[in-house]
Amino acid sequence: MQEFLDKKIAETKKEIDRLTTRRQEELGNSINFIENELQIERLRAQVVAYESVLEHLKA
């Protein structure tokens, strides 16, 4: 389970990096920008949740 969570955390952080880089690109309109920002925040929340579960498993 710990390996699975470590993998999910790494994958999610990579996706956050990709979306953060996408901020620098022309997103076309404000709706695309907002969707991108919402996705980043959702993924950050996932990382926090994965890390919390991982901490409980280690305890």
Range of the domain at 14: 2-58
Q: How far is CA 39 from CA 1, 10, 56, 57, in A?
A: 25, 16, 26, 27
Per-residue pLDDT tens digits for 34-47:
999 999 999 999 99
Closest to 3 (Cα-Cα) out of 11, 14, 46:
11
Instruction: Please state the separation of Cα 36 from the chain's center in Å.
Output: 11
What is the reported pTM?
A: 0.87
- Mean pLDDT for the stretch of residues 9-26: 92
At residue 22, the pLDDT reads: 87
At residue 11, the pLDDT reads: 98
Handedness of CA 30, 32, 35, 36 (dihedral sign): negative
* Number of domains making up the chain: 1
